[in-house]
Amino acid sequence: MAAVMTETLPAPAVPAGRPGGSRAWEVIRAGAWRWVVFLLAAIFFLLPLVASFEFSLRDPHGGYSLASYRQFTKMPGFGSALWLSVKLALMAVGITLALLVPTVTLVHLRLPWLRRVVETLTVLPLVIPPIVLVVGVLGAFSSYGPAWLLSSPVNLGFEYVVLALPFAYRSLDAGIGAIDLRTLVEASRSLGGNWATELFRVVLPNLRTAVLGAAVMTVALVLGEFAMASVLLWVTFPVWVVSVAQTQAGVSVAVSMISLLLTWVLLMLLITLGGRRGRQANILGGF
Partner 1 sequence: MSSLDAQAPSGPDSPQASTGAGAGDRPGTAAPAPDGAAPAGAAVELGARPLARVAQRVGRALPGAMRRDGLALLGTLPFFAYTLIFLGFPTLAVTIDSFKTDDGTWTLGNIRTTFEGLYRTAFLNSIEVSLLTAAIGVVFGGLLAQAVLTTRRNTWLRRIVTTASGVFANFGGVPLAFAFIATLGTTGLATRWLGDIGLKLSSTGFSLYTFSGVVVVYTYFQVPLMVLTITPALEGLRPQWREAAQGLGASAWSFWRHVGLPVLFPSIAGSFLLLFGSSFAAYATAQALTAGTVSLVPIKIGNLVSGNVIAGSQNVGKALGFEMILVIAIVMVGYVLLTRRASRWLR
Binding to partner 1 in span 142-201, by CB under 8 A:
144, 158-159, 161-162, 165
DSSP alpha helix (H) spans, 144-248: 147-150, 154-178, 181-190, 195-197, 204-206, 208-224, 227-231, 237-245
DSSP helix/strand/coil, 64: strand
Give dist(CA 6, CA 168) in Å, integer: 61
Contact 218, 167 (CB under 8 A): yes
Which window, 33-41, 69-77, 79-87, 176-184, contacts partner 1 (CB under 8 A)? 33-41
Report which DSSP code applies to 128.
S
Residue selected from 133, 181, 185, 214 as contacting partner 1 according to rule CB under 8 A: 133
Residue selected from 51, 60, 79, 80 as contacting partner 1 according to rule CB under 8 A: 51
Residue selected from 128, 152, 201, 208 as contacting partner 1 according to rule CB under 8 A: 128
Give dist(CA 274, CA 278) in Å, integer: 6
Distance of CA 96 to the CA centre of its chain: 14
Q: How far is the CB of 8 from partner 1 (least distance, A)?
A: 10
Q: How far is the CB of 235 from partner 1 (least distance, A)?
A: 13
Give dist(CA 204, CA 208) in Å, integer: 6
* Shorter beta-carbon distance to partner 1: residue 54 or 180: 54
Distance of CA 183 to the CA centre of its chain: 31
Q: 242 — phi, psi (to 5°)?
A: -65, -40
Q: How far is the CB of 106 from partner 1 (least distance, A)?
A: 5
Q: 192 — alpha (psi -120 to 50), left (phi > 0) or beta?
A: left
- SS3 string, 226-276, reads CHHHHHCCCCCHHHHHHHHHCCCHHHHHHHHHHHHHHHHHHHHHHHHHHHH
**Among residue numbers 222 through 251, which ones bind partner 1 (CB under 8 A)?**
224-227, 230-231, 238, 241-242, 245, 249
Residue selected from 81, 84, 97, 134 as contacting partner 1 according to rule CB under 8 A: 134
Residue selected from 171, 220, 222, 280 as contacting partner 1 according to rule CB under 8 A: 220
Which window, 64-72, 140-148, 173-181, 184-192, contacts partner 1 (CB under 8 A)? 140-148
Q: How far is the CB of 270 from partner 1 (least distance, A)?
A: 8
Which window, 53-61, 70-78, 86-94, 200-208, contacts partner 1 (CB under 8 A)? 53-61
Q: How far is the CB of 255 from partner 1 (least distance, A)?
A: 9
**Among residue numbers 71 through 100, which ones bind partner 1 (CB under 8 A)?**
95, 99-100
Q: How far is the CB of 231 from partner 1 (least distance, A)?
A: 5
* Shorter beta-carbon distance to partner 1: residue 118 or 207: 118
